Chains A and B, each alone.
Chain A
Amino acid sequence: MTNERGSTEIESILAVEGGNVATRAFLVDRVEGTYRFVARGECLTTLALPQSSFEIGLWSALQQLEGAAGRILLSASGASQPRGRSLSWGSVIMPEQPDGHGVDALVASTSILPPLRVAIAGLIRDLSVESARRAVESTYTVVEDIIALNEGAQRWGTARGIEAKLEALCQNPPHVILLVGGVDEGAYGRRAYTPLLEIAEMLGAVASVLDKPARPVVIFAGNQSARSAVADLLSDQFEFRAVDNVRPELGLEVLTGVQQELERLYQETIIKQIPHLDALVNLSTAPLMSSARAFELVVRFVARQYNLIRGVLGVDIGGASTQIFVAMGDHSCGLVKGNLGTSHGLESLLDQIAIEDILRWLPFVMPAAEARNRLLNKWVHPLSIPQTREDLLLEQAVAREAMRLALRELRPRWATLAESSALALQGDGLLPPLDLLIARGGVLSHAPNPGQAALMLLDAFQPVGLSRLVLDQLSLLPAIGAMAALQPLAAAEVLERDGFLDLGTVIAPTGQARRGEIILRFRMEYADGSTVQVEVPYGSLEVIPLPLGQTANLELRPARGFDIGMGSKGRGGKTQVQGGALGLIIDARGRPLAFSSRPQVQQARMQEWLWSIGG
């Protein structure tokens, strides 16, 4: 496309993200030859009353962006603009004009729910069905039901397990039925053929009961030799889509086909369900992308681009969903929990977490019933902001447990990943040493200070050895992921320069000692030559200032029996560390974190940790 300045390059990009709590607009432009983030606008998402229209919040965010950037991007309705993209009140000026008005392109991402409701039908729960479940949790979905032929009804008996599931599918049809089963070749593959057709016939019975608009989309991701027979049975009755087998071989899992199809379906479905979301789609130069997919692209890119062989863990804890993704070189795995979040997703989250697990993160007493009431009031008023310290810390405690839950659910997939990347989870449930932890989400980026954000991450993930913590403070990462599809250079440059707030470097020794015992000694030399020598007692959490943009040389000497990720227990060494908003964080509280059985002691420790980290 040639813009009004006669250039075919995309120089300026407007990136929009529609979230469940906030709608944001970002301006990216070329500054002295490099793409940079310029400004942003943000507004509460206006899907609820009184506005009940996504477009209102979008327009407000765009107007704020204009004001922040000091640049005209929008034209009022009625004004003639060449090839503008329209909203009800006007247009986004595209392409960029010689006078600097407008932008060359617009990209959009969204995490707006409700999630896709998916039923999985397969042969064997521990094989094909489990693979299907992992594939489904790559975007905003809820698994409503699982039909595994190897469970429930005996083949020639009268048990009603399968029939009961069929009745449920008829009464409350999901958006999608994912049909899986059988490897592609060999004896196992041949044996799966008949049972697959049997399931397909059962699904055909569902179609005969439902009106066409109510029928789910059927995605077939099973034995490829059964594909045409299954298609013959179902393609006249359902919208039928066939993708690669999730289990082409017994020991091989291929999830990308299902993941891509679900991503497409998510976009198609929410555009129909969310009023006026099509306004965003109409504006966009590239296809709408889910924020989950965009975030995944960023984490993968970072791992590969910077050759982070020990791995990158990314977490996005949102109001309605939580995503966790780990990438190690070319290997990656992740999941999206579409009904687990810190505001809209709170009720579902509280069904999965014990309230006591939340209360142990509080530095004060709160009865369980009161905590439940306060949290559910946040659920009832999902856009509201805490106005007491108790409510704030309670919401942060929930965030910790949501991230811990997501990590627990990721572990089985991580184990599979580790087999192929020789990077295993540790036996006591701890993470292996990671290079980088990328975090985003309102509860983190809107924390009153970076210390509270860092502490939430340290408590939730308990990183070991040496790792860096970075925060998506501007909520820019989904926009960067969406930009990557259109202008990869812009995405890469903005990510490198503007994408993160570096919280600092964490050193977390693993080992056991008595509280107060010195477990680590180190010498830190700043760039100006000044030095500081520190002795770290077990049980402590300390922050050593090292500002953003600065580096320092560390000489570390752990006590015998303590591992700081330099090869083995007791092994020290030298390394260079980068500064951050906090600096150097020494987390010597032990791994895994031990909680005192005495509430007063635990509360006092929690308060001490908050003070130590500047919270």
Chain B
Amino acid sequence: MEYRLPVCVIPFAQLEVERLLPVPGQVLVRVGDKVDATDVIARALHPGPLCAINAARVLGVGNAMLPKYVVKKEGEDVKEKEILAARGGVLGLFRKKCVSPVAGTVLAITHGRILLEQAPLTVELRANVRGEVATVIPNFGAVIRTMGALIRGAWSSGAEANGPNLGFGVLRVVVEGRDQPLTAGLVDVSCHGAIVVGGSSVEQEALEQAKEMNVRAIVVGGVDAGLRKLCRSLPFPVVATQGLGDLPMAEPMFQLLRMHQGREAVIIQWDTAWGKARPEIIIPLPLDQAWGISAAPSLEVGAHVHLTRSPYAGLVGQVMSQPQLLRDPRTGLQFLGVKVLLEGPRTEGSGNVIAPLANLELIP
């Protein structure tokens, strides 16, 4: 069986983007509909936070007795501090009261408790890509087919999962080279509403500045592991194409993003079986442009690959051999791998290296 490596860059191909509501709702499109990025394709009411009150305990009654004292019924709206249940008292005095700590709706009165649901939020799911509806997923959304470019990253802060319309904006490359860090000075008012593209890393101050400037996303080669918590707290996704640390973005990815500067793009997250996010940057492109559709690459001599682990992380090369059992003299480890001729300037060595298949991704 042919060994298939993941593909990390696709300059131009037919792509399918799955857009889903976080909760069941109403899908507003049908198969075949043409959509623009800002079109709302589905809508839902996202349940508000829950609040559970042990009303029976507050009133000093048994669980089974609570319904006798409840003044608000299931489905009724309540205001903050409004009485939910009350018991006893003389002339209005010494009455035991259970009041609502929040505004919301009575969801259930059960087992001595009153469950309130705070105001639900209306969630509107936008297409985020221009294309055609290929499949409708009942109650949740649709798969939108588009033509464009794709870059598959290594790590994402996951914010795009927190809101169905996050991670969408116009590409803006603010660095000169793939190995230039994204600093605070490079994030200015022109980045408002943009997917900001940096080089090798992002500084903490730049992340904070990006929040001030209301960017839609940040894409860099590497994110320092110590910044993960900050990244996860931001209201926009931060994507590392190579991984964690100071890692120059792979040349094909950087060139593709720079080529398409000014175009709309969207970041989507793939959940793996282990719960981690693998981000993808999709850039829809018009059909009438000169890009040829990329052939599906396969692992063979002459194929171009991207290497994922140090000391070659982010480098690109050409496969020079068939997969075979190799032993790395630096580590002594044996693995199924190939010989690769690295491309681009090098500080040392001939550029002929060996790499495990597990450390490679294909580039068309």
Contacts and interface: CB of A to CB of B under 8 A. Distances in A.
A binds B: yes
B58 interface: yes
A274 B273 contact: yes
B50 A388 contact: no
Interface stretch (A1-9, A290-298, A367-375): A367-375
Interface stretch (A185-193, A202-210, A474-482, A587-595): A202-210
A386 B309 contact: yes
A113, A153, A386, A387: which has the most chain B beta carbons within 10 Å? A387
A533 interface: no
A568 interface: no
Contacts of B112: 201
B225 A376 contact: yes
A25 B342 CA distance: 35
A208 B240 CA distance: 42
A141 interface: no
B338 interface: no
A164 B52 CA distance: 7
B185 to A, nearest CB: 23
B330 A389 contact: yes
A392 B273 contact: no
B168 interface: no
A455 B207 CA distance: 43
Contact of A381 (B60, B154, B332): B154
Given A113-B274, A372-B225, A377-B313, A167 B4 contact: no
Given A167-B49, A208-B115, A372-B225, A388 B331 contact: yes
A372 B226 contact: yes
Interface size class of B (residues with CB under 8 A): 35 or more
A270 to B, nearest CB: 9
Contacts, number: 158
A381 B243 contact: yes
B251 interface: no
A242 interface: no
B325 to A, nearest CB: 12
Nearest to A197: B63
A287 interface: no
Interface in B273-303: 273-276, 278
Interface string A136-168: 000000000000000001011010001110110
B7 interface: yes
Given A166-B52, A205-B111, A385-B359, A446 B331 contact: no
A51 B240 CA distance: 23
Nearest to B270: A49
Contacts of A386: 309, 331, 333
Interface in A165-219: 166-167, 170-171, 201-202, 204-205, 208-209
B311 A162 contact: no
Contacts of A50: 4-7
Interface in B27-82: 49-54, 57-58, 60, 63
Interface string A384-426: 1111110110000000000000000000000000000000000
B275 A114 contact: yes
Given A370-B245, A377-B244, A385-B356, A59 B111 contact: no
A49 B278 contact: yes
Contacts of A229: none
A373 B358 contact: no
Contacts of A163: 51-54, 113
A50 B4 CA distance: 7
Nearest to A63: B1
A494 interface: no
B273 A387 contact: no
Interface string A271-313: 0011000000000000000000000000000000000000000
A166 B53 CA distance: 10
Nearest to A275: B273
A163, A383, A391, A446: which has the most chain B beta carbons within 10 Å? A163
Contacts of B154: 377, 380-381
B308 interface: yes
A467 interface: no
Nearest to A273: B273
A341 B358 CA distance: 18
A273 B275 CA distance: 12
A92 to B, nearest CB: 16
A162 B56 CA distance: 14
A60 interface: yes
A387 B5 contact: no
Given A384-B356, A389-B331, A48 B309 contact: no
Nearest to B328: A387
29 contacts: A48-B272, A49-B6, A49-B270, A156-B57, A166-B52, A166-B113, A167-B52, A170-B50, A201-B63, A208-B110, A369-B224, A373-B222, A373-B243, A380-B154, A380-B240, A381-B243, A381-B308, A381-B309, A384-B356, A386-B331, A386-B333, A387-B331, A388-B311, A388-B331, A391-B309, A391-B331, A392-B331, A446-B333, A448-B333
- Which 7 pairs between the two chains have the least Cβ-Cβ distance? A448-B332, A373-B245, A201-B111, A377-B243, A163-B52, A376-B244, A208-B108
Interface of B: 1, 4-7, 49-54, 57-58, 60, 63, 107-108, 110-113, 115, 152, 154-155, 222, 224-226, 240, 243-246, 270, 272-276, 278, 308-313, 328, 330-335, 355-356, 358-359
Given A381-B308, A381-B359, 20 more contacts: A20-B274, A48-B6, A48-B278, A51-B4, A63-B1, A202-B113, A205-B111, A208-B108, A344-B274, A372-B225, A373-B246, A376-B243, A383-B358, A384-B309, A385-B309, A385-B356, A385-B359, A387-B310, A387-B331, A388-B331
